[in-house]
Structure 1
Amino acid sequence: MADESDDIPLVGEEAPLIDADPELLQAFLQQQRHRKKPTEARDATSDISITQTKSPKSTTTNPPNGAESVPRASSPRKPSDASPVVPTRTTYGLQTAAQLHKEKVSQAQHRKQLMESLDTSVSGRDAATVYRTKTGKVSDMAAQRAEEAARRRREEERLMEQMEWGKGLVQKQDRELKTKRLEDEKSQPLARYANDQELNRELSQRTRWDDPATKFIKNKSTSKPQYPVYQGPTPPPNRFGIQPGFRWDGVDRSNGFESNYFSTQNSRIASAQRDYVYRTEDL
């Protein structure tokens, strides 16, 4: 076997690929032996290493001298058992419109028969619809419908209450009182005499605007609102006579203007009286 440095080509020469025919590579090296220089062996060695490194990647490079490339056999794919394969039954080539339509109908029927032959747990034919929220959580439609009905009922009650307040609370009370009076009249006899106590009591409580004896009636019930008033010690006076609230704790938190105002008024009145007495003492 020749020396390893003798088989190294010169830098710049086109060497065949390593994965090519070994006989062609040996002939090329023999032709380049007489042109080899000792100083270029180191550079040629690095070129050979680079060629060896790149040679496995260049699988698509055409082989030299017109050699035919052998196609690589692709690994067979494993059949998938996840779902059955539906045959396409497609006919290729020049066809008429009737043939294409017939083929399309045949494929549709075949797919329909295949789906009908599948189990319901696989095809999901009779499966219940699952509703989900925006976050992906399964939602109960029956509970949602009940909640929506309750919300709609509360809204209707609110609108009815709003309409009732809009018509007037006093008018509603008058209508209820009138209805009650009519119900009471149904139980009364047809003929009512002067000794009917209930009729006399109703007539005596009726108020007339031109009755001069209205002011003498003592038993009239007044339905005026009663507000709580202040019941503590006497508060300091003010110019407008306003009483403090019933929650006042008796602490004067004013700036003293009211007390100065009344002191000035009292001193002015006292000075006027003193001047009057002084002017009239000689009379």
Structure 2
Amino acid sequence: MGLINKIFDKKAAPLLAAVFVILFIAERRRKLRKPSQPLIKRMVTNSIVAAPAFGLLRFVFLPAMVKLALKNKRYGVGYLLPFSPFLRLLTTFLILDYGNYLWHVLNHKIPLLWRFHLVHHTDLDLDTLTAFRFHFGEMIGSVFFRGLFVFLSGATAKEVLAYELLFESATQFHHSNMRIPRKLEACLNKIIVTPSMHGIHHSVNKDETDSNYAVIFSFWDSMHQTFKFNPDQKQIIIGVPEYRDASQMTVRYLLTMPFKKQYNYQSNMPCKLSIKPKRDIEAT
């Protein structure tokens, strides 16, 4: 579609590339957590794993969302309530972002969805490279759920693309390994998701993984009592307990992971039904 090319390809994509470069440099000058894996190897692995998902984002997800927005000219909050242009835009973004909060929760709670989201969480380090490490199957599933919230919000095509720019920028930001002054981060956390906040979500400790699901606005977690914040990241171990073997995390293995038998932490043996650890793994 011409609108996607005009807004996303020519404007949003260069901005996202700039955000990545800035965060990539910043997280190496102000590290939040000490990296455990070779950078180049992770860069290659995560880039190849992300390539199919990027293709689906550009040629399936965005066209589907834009087409839905163009066809929906009667329904949704944006059309049913007499909002000013600014209030309409704010409301639209809030609804879309709340939809992403719920989608993230479902990815952790529904076993089938977790199989695909697991690929993202098995990264043993957490930085801007992790922000791209999503399985293409997860992108396919998101079309239907996120499309529902495009419909409910009554978002216009331009609003859908504008939100996607914020969504992708926020995803890079909160996955980054950039250390922010504690007082500043504590203030930012009242509104948006920060690196320390999301770092807790990537912990091997299940109680911590089952928290901080928000993407842009952090108050969804506060509202649902899933918010946790600890700026001291030294005690946090990144990853999934069942998948701690770095040599196993090849491109081929990650792309086929959702279709394989999953591992049970207690027995360390293949198990079809048990996908999450049976007990908490305490960081030491």
State the TM-score, normalized to the length of structure 1.
0.16
Which has a greater percent of helix? 2
Find the structure with the greater CA-based Rg: 1
User: Which gives a bigger RCO, structure 1 or 2 (Cα 8 Å, sep 6+)?
Assistant: 2
